[in-house]
Structure 1
Amino acid sequence: MPREELVHAAEELKHASADASSDVTEQLESQAETLSDLAEADHGPDHGRLDRIMHSLSELESDADDETAERIQSAYDHVKAHRETVSGV
């Protein structure tokens, strides 16, 4: 069963990578692929993994133009929403 928030985050990053400058495109595509994989995995990511992803997205957002940064922020918000449903910490 896919984790919808992670699916939405991956989609936002795919759109962001299409509009991004070449220096962040590869990183956005990599994060999108990671989120897609996590959305379909048998066991969801833990808080630590989600925190690392969110930190990476924050760094990418600071290096992006305004339109790309908005998409990255949207992806961040989706990851955060999913993280709030994860038990533990």
Structure 2
Amino acid sequence: MSRKTLEAASEELRKASELAEGDLQERLYDHSNQVAELASRDQGPDHGRLDRHMNALYEIAGETDGDLHDRVVAAREHLKEYRKGVAGV
């Protein structure tokens, strides 16, 4: 699966962090940085790593609304799409 999918997820999370405040802003920014780092590695992330990010984003999406919610959901969908191409499970 394309690294561009991970880059798109990171970008959505960065934009979401700009819409958030306080601890949530920090959490989203941290997820954005972590996903960007995964996109730049020679070897892609495994299912477990992706699943942890997806679960956290699922929880965050449940706590948000509006454009912020939409950005978090979009990032999660990008991760879900990338995960389809990861071998294993």
TM-score band by shorter chain is: over 0.9
Tell me the equivalent position of 1:82: 82
8 A contact 1:61–1:73 mirrored in 2: yes
Q: Distance in 2 between matches of 1:48 and 1:55?
A: 10
Percent of pairs with identical residues: 41
> Runs of 5+ in structure 1 lacking a partner?
none
Distance 2:23 2:30 in 1: 13
Structure-2 separation of matches of 1:83 and 1:9: 12
Distance 1:16 1:88 in 2: 31
CA distance in 1, matches of 2:65, 2:16: 10
Pairs aligned (count): 88
Q: Distance in 2 between matches of 1:71 and 1:58?
A: 12
- TM-score, normalised to structure 1, is 0.93
Q: Give the conservation status (yes or no) of the 8 Å contact 1:6–1:35.
A: yes
Report the equivalent of 2:23.
Answer: 23
1:14 is displaced (CA, Å) by 0.4
Question: d(CA) in 2 for partners of 1:62 and 1:26?
Answer: 17
The corresponding residue for 2:57 is 57
Question: Which residue of 2 is the match for residue 70 of structure 1?
Answer: 70
For normalisation by structure 2, the TM-score amounts to: 0.93
CA distance in 2: counterparts of 1:56 and 1:82, whole angstroms: 16
